[in-house]
Amino acid sequence: SADVAAAGQAFVEGVNKCSSDLMVFVSYVQVRAKEIEGAKSTLMTNAVATFGKNNTTLVDTCNALLKSISADTRKPFLLNLGEIEKLTREILGIIKPPEELDIFQLVQSLASQKADVSASKRGKASLKTPLASAAEALKAELQPLSIAQVDPANAAAQAASADGRAAAFLGLARVAVADVDSAADGDRRKRMQAAVADMDKERTVLKDAAAKYAADPNTNTLNKLNASARHFADLVDDFMADARPVVKVVTPGDGTRLSARAGDVEKAHRDAKAALEKLRDQHGGMNDDELHAAGGDASSKVAKFIEFVKAKQMQEGDPAEKARLGDLARELQADNVAVVRDVNAYMADRSPAKSAALKASCQKTIDDLDRAYKRIGGDAAAKRTGPMTFDEEIAEAAVDIQEAVDEYSLVPKELKDYGSRLAELMAKLAEAARNGDREAIITISREIKDLVKKVRQFAVPLAGQCADPVLADQIRTAAQAIGSFGTQLSIIASVKAASLGSSGDDNDNQAAEEQLVRCAEGIASSMRQTLFGIQSAKSSKKL
């Protein structure tokens, strides 16, 4: 118990990883359940629901342990873990994985890889998604071979290793296909399904070619093995071209609902600039999911500032100045497109050249933002001196949520009410953090986690009803992201609460604060993007 208390951060990271592994396994079970009929399919469907409850209990009992370590808190935590393991083994008995691979090992390879808050101590975290990592590992096994490179005595073992990599990748690929909405993105889903079917066939061809080479190693059998490996690698590339997350450019509104007040303009400029600076300076240390979120956040905030430029343009009486403001708005939108383009290019190819291009497009957009800000009266706005504390940044996120709620008038009332309540809770979390109130931090963060689940449950069906596939994808992606940020916030808040009043490592405490702010900003950004997407769909009569 003393070790757990002393290593609270590591303990929470372990639980977070376990929770992530479990959800990936649940996705795998959902996909396989569709392939099985009768009572077994029903049992697997019921298991998915049970696993969801287990996962919630996992996070809740972790928080209880961090709050107070005793037999009463330790017992339910361990009991729940035992139930998860037992049910997992039962499901494995039904599935009998055709991949000839231990599913526990597969689940571990599929774990969501988050940035390590103590990376400086334990090495840098993976910057790739689990799918991309599995693709890279598989392609490494599929490199063409020469006779001198292959020991016939070990050929069977080498082939088994390649087949294991193929199994891990195909398991993840099926999960990725299941995550694509057939209504909103049917063509992409069909391409991915076809690619998985082709890879399944090629896997059989590859295994057969490897067996023939092992039985009779010669140039002819090796050439056939290499040809199959090359074809498999090409199929992996085709699949990944569709599976890789893509940032979408956010289209600004026309500014008709904005007043262009100095304080609002200053905030929009500050938010957009901060998002771009984060992307410019930190993209090299972000994994694909974080880069996707940061790119979307920057595009959304740049679009918001462009709306203020358009609002000022409409209010301008001088024709020449009106034209100049129109040019600025168009240039900023072109900048926005360039930033998103370079984010996507860097995710596909993390080379120094792509990194330099992304830095350059971010910097150009920042420069144009500053120029536009001065043009629309930004010099008169008050400037903040010195960095904000972490509780002030959380409070800023609360303000951002409420402003979004107030701004988008066409959003359903129930969702607006959720947004207002979320802003209220975020403000209370900032106050609790400012006061060092450990109990309140844990309680409020848990309330936020529960509330964002309601937001997601309300918004995702609306995405399914949206006739515009781009807006539907924006709504769905933002709504799903807010749920993930809510879970992370609850866990990291528990870590921060546990560190209050302790003599722990200042670096670990600062890392927890930074992650807490990142989660709060992620919730605010995702909420704004969700509301913006619904507002846009309503105003264009697509929803």
Domains contained in the chain, CATH given:
2-102 (no CATH), 130-243 (1.20.120.230), 246-382 (1.20.1420.10), 387-543 (1.20.120.230)
Helices 186-215 and 219-243: crossing angle, nearest 10°? 160
- DSSP code of 352? H
How far apart CA 279 and CA 344 sit, in angstroms, is 12
Position 412 scores a pLDDT of: 92
Helices 506-539 and 288-315: crossing angle, nearest 10°? 50
How far apart CA 303 and CA 307 sit, in angstroms, is 6
Q: Is 389 helix (H, G, I), strand (E, B) or coil?
A: coil
Q: In 316-349, which residue ranges form alpha helices assigned H by DSSP?
A: 319-348
- Measured from the Cβ of residue 201, the count of other Cβ atoms closer than 10 Å reads 12
* Cα-only R_g, the chain: 25
Position 262 scores a pLDDT of: 65
Position 370 scores a pLDDT of: 87
Position 260 scores a pLDDT of: 55
How far apart CA 480 and CA 413 sit, in angstroms, is 20
Question: In a structure prediction context, what are the per-residue pLDDT tens digits for the chain, which is 543 residues long?
Answer: 334 334 455 566 667 667 766 766 776 677 667 667 778 888 888 888 888 788 778 877 877 766 666 777 788 888 888 888 888 878 877 776 544 444 444 334 333 322 332 232 333 334 456 677 778 888 888 887 766 666 666 666 777 778 888 887 888 888 788 877 677 678 888 899 999 999 999 999 998 988 888 888 888 888 898 899 899 999 998 888 787 667 888 888 777 666 556 677 888 899 999 999 999 988 888 877 778 888 989 999 999 899 889 888 888 887 878 888 888 899 899 899 999 999 988 887 888 888 988 998 999 899 889 888 888 865 443 344 445 677 888 888 888 788 788 877 889 999 999 999 999 999 899 888 888 888 899 899 999 999 999 999 999 999 889 888 878 888 888 888 888 888 888 888 887 777 765 555 556 567 777 778 888 888 888 888 888 889 888 887 888
And the tokens for 217? 């190693």
How far apart CA 443 and CA 149 sit, in angstroms, is 60
How far apart CA 398 and CA 27 sit, in angstroms, is 33
Q: Are 250 and 300 in contact (CB under 8 A)?
A: yes
Q: Are 534 and 459 in contact (CB under 8 A)?
A: yes
And the tokens for 339? 């930033």
Q: How many residues does this entry show for the chain?
A: 543
0.85 surpassed by pTM: no
| Residue 514 main-chain phi, psi, to 5 deg | -65, -40
Residue owning tokens 């330790």: 74
How far apart CA 162 and CA 164 sit, in angstroms, is 5
How far apart CA 452 and CA 484 sit, in angstroms, is 9
Q: Which residues contact 315 (CB under 8 A, 6 or more apart)?
A: 260
Q: Are 467 and 491 in contact (CB under 8 A)?
A: no
Position 472 scores a pLDDT of: 86
And the tokens for 330? 């168009």
And the tokens for 27? 């996705």
CA distances 96 to 29, 36, 162, 432, Å, are: 11, 11, 20, 49
Position 1 scores a pLDDT of: 36
Position 184 scores a pLDDT of: 65
And the tokens for 398? 């609360």
Kind plus residue range of the DSSP H or E element containing 260: none
Q: Give me the amino acid identity at 16.
A: N
